[in-house]
């Protein structure tokens, strides 16, 4: 009898990155593969609290371990440059020691693969050094990976300099099949934080190193959603959308406690009536913009479910506008998003356009109202509005504010647009077909499982 295949999974220390790789880990565990999931100590402390509340940790199919990130517990990990430098200095040694312990601990198991978030290139170099096969996992759209892998082309065309700084503002198209993108919306340029720009550009450059060191390139997308992916990234294996609605311990990837009472509230709402509003784990609004959003939801007069994190208004105490009446809505700090989007009362999704959120909603046939504000979210908005045609976009005014009146008008327009609603159902069929038996992503994942078991 052969040895039990054992896979080490290394996510980047951010909510969406941990979530994507946890969903993949569940898929692999369902195929009889042992998973060791490696968080930083700081992230581990965040995910184990909700797990312990649900009693999920002890019975999980996935073994969670952690290593230091090199910072003190009270250090500000929003300083991404400082965090990235500390991780690179500290984590490789700890991960190498962990791998050695795993290889020595059980003769009935074989560490057959290391799956690393591609924003980390060094675990794949470590796997190569230790004679272990490596899989580079890209948790975002294949389009953003293609842009990262074509940085040299952008430099040669004089569009960016060696630091990624924009030198030409124009529309570019990497292939005839991929939609165009404004160079001002390259992912490292879509933030005002100069340190963040530097970190994201370096991450994009390092994706090229990860590609060279790996045996597989896995991506949380579907060929039917991004048909240009295989042209621009020949060895890519789309395995998404990674959908895990029935996983019993998804709390292992939540940094905040889910408020499950929202599901009971949804049960009381009419069919396709509820506006779901969520901006992911990082995006925030200033108080003025928060007030406009609150008033816009009130103006619409429809039931709404609004996720308001404790730090949603730039870390300040959130104040609702005077006279705001939320008796036809529900406000929670975090929600079980996949289950929620599958609920028949959901009518549309007002979103920041994070990739996980997009895939969750596309898989359930929910139309979008797009409000991107940084990074790859602008490319995703282009997919939704211009390519798939499953949503509308909100447009800030000259002072950068989206008015409550515009929010009201766009929601009304979205929910009356029969073409968008029809397209949403069409793409739901496309997304579900590819992850079900016989679908492209289903087959790609099955092939990957077979190969790591060999």
Confidence at residue 246, expressed as pLDDT on a 0 to 100 scale: 59
For the chain, count helices (H), then strands (E). 16, 15
93 pLDDT more than 70: yes
**289: three-class secondary structure by DSSP:** helix
94 pLDDT more than 70: yes
CATH number, span 4-249+434-453? 3.40.50.2000
Given pLDDT bands bounded at 50, 70 and 90, which one contains residue 105?
Answer: confident
Q: Where are the domains of the chain?
A: 4-249+434-453, 259-416
5 pLDDT more than 80: yes
Confidence at residue 317, expressed as pLDDT on a 0 to 100 scale: 61
Confidence at residue 53, expressed as pLDDT on a 0 to 100 scale: 46
Mean pLDDT, residues 161-175 taken together: 91
Q: 289-292 — which CB contacts under 8 Å span 24+ positions?
A: 289/401, 289/402, 290/318, 290/319, 291/320, 291/321, 291/404, 292/401, 292/402, 292/403, 292/404, 292/407
Backbone CA torsion sign across 158, 160, 163, 166: positive
Confidence at residue 418, expressed as pLDDT on a 0 to 100 scale: 98
52 pLDDT more than 50: no
Confidence at residue 60, expressed as pLDDT on a 0 to 100 scale: 65
Number of other CB atoms surrounding residue 77 within 10 Å: 16
23 pLDDT more than 60: yes
Higher per-residue confidence, 2 vs 165? 165
Closest CA to 135 of 237, 226, 16: 237
Pairing relationship of beta strands 274-278 and 304-307 according to DSSP bridges:
parallel
Do the domains at 4-249+434-453 and 259-416 have one common CATH topology? yes
Residues in the chain: 454
Burial of 107 per CB tally in 10 Å (0-12, 13-18, 19+): exposed
Backbone CA torsion sign across 395, 397, 402, 408: negative
CATH topology of domain 259-416: Rossmann fold (3.40.50)
249 pLDDT more than 70: no
Give the integer Cα–Cα distance in Å for 453 and 154.
39
Give the integer Cα–Cα distance in Å for 286 and 404.
14
Mean pLDDT, residues 47-62 taken together: 57
Closest CA to 229 of 242, 243, 213, 217: 217
Max intra-chain CA distance, the chain: 69
Confidence at residue 216, expressed as pLDDT on a 0 to 100 scale: 98
Q: What average pLDDT is seen over the chain?
A: 91
Mean pLDDT, residues 41-45 taken together: 92
Beta strands (DSSP E) in 72-121 are: 109-117
Confidence at residue 201, expressed as pLDDT on a 0 to 100 scale: 93
Give the integer Cα–Cα distance in Å for 338 and 361.
8
> In degrees, to the nearest 5, what angle opens at C-alpha 446 toward C-alphas 110 and 339?
105
Confidence at residue 59, expressed as pLDDT on a 0 to 100 scale: 45
Contact 403, 297 (CB under 8 A): no
């Amino acid at each position: 009898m052969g040895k039990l295949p054992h896979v080490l999974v290394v996510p980047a220390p951010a909510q969406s990155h941990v979530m994507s790789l946890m969903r993949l880990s569940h898929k692999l565990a369902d195929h009889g593969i042992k998973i060791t999931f490696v968080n930083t100590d700081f992230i581990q402390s965040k995910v184990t609290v909700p797990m312990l509340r649900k009693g999920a940790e002890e019975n999980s199919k996935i073994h969670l371990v952690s290593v230091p990130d090199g910072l003190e517990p009270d250090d500000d990990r929003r300083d991404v440059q400082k965090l990235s430098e500390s991780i690179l200095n500290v984590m490789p040694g700890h991960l190498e020691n962990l791998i050695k312990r795993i290889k020595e601990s059980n003769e009935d198991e074989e560490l057959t693969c290391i799956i690393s978030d591609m924003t980390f290139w060094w675990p794949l170099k470590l796997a190569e050094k230790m004679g272990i096969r490596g899989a580079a996992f890209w948790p975002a759209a294949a389009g953003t990976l293609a842009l990262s892998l074509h940085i040299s082309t952008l430099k040669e065309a004089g569009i960016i300099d060696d630091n990624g700084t924009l030198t030409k503002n124009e529309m570019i198209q990497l292939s005839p099949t991929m939609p165009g993108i404004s160079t001002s919306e390259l992912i490292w340029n879509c933030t005002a934080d100069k340190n963040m720009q530097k970190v994201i550009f370096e991450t994009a450059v390092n994706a090229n190193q990860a590609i060279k060191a790996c045996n597989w390139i896995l991506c949380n997308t579907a060929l039917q959603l991004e048909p240009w992916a295989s042209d621009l990234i020949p060895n890519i294996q789309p395995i998404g959308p990674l959908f895990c609605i029935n996983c019993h311990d998804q709390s292992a990837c939540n940094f905040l406690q889910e408020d499950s009472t929202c599901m009971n509230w949804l049960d009381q709402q009419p069919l396709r009536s509820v506006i779901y509003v969520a901006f992911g784990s990082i995006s925030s609004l200033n108080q003025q913009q928060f007030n406009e959003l609150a008033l816009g939801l009130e103006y619409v007069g429809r039931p709404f479910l609004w996720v308001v994190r404790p730090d949603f208004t730039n870390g300040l105490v959130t104040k609702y506008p005077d006279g705001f009446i939320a008796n036809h809505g529900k406000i929670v700090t975090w929600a079980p998003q996949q289950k929620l989007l599958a609920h028949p009362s959901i009518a549309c999704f007002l979103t920041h356009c994070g990739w996980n959120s997009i895939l969750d909603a596309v898989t359930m046939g929910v139309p979008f109202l797009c409000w991107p504000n940084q990074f790859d979210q602008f490319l995703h908005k282009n997919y939704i509005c211009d390519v798939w045609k499953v949503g509308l976009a909100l447009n800030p005014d000259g002072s950068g504010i989206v008015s409550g009146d515009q929010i009201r008008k766009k929601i009304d327009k979205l929910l009356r647009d029969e073409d968008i609603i029809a397209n949403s159902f069409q793409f739901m069929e496309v997304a579900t077909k590819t992850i079900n038996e016989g679908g492209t992503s289903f087959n790609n994942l099955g092939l990957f499982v077979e190969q790591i078991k060999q």
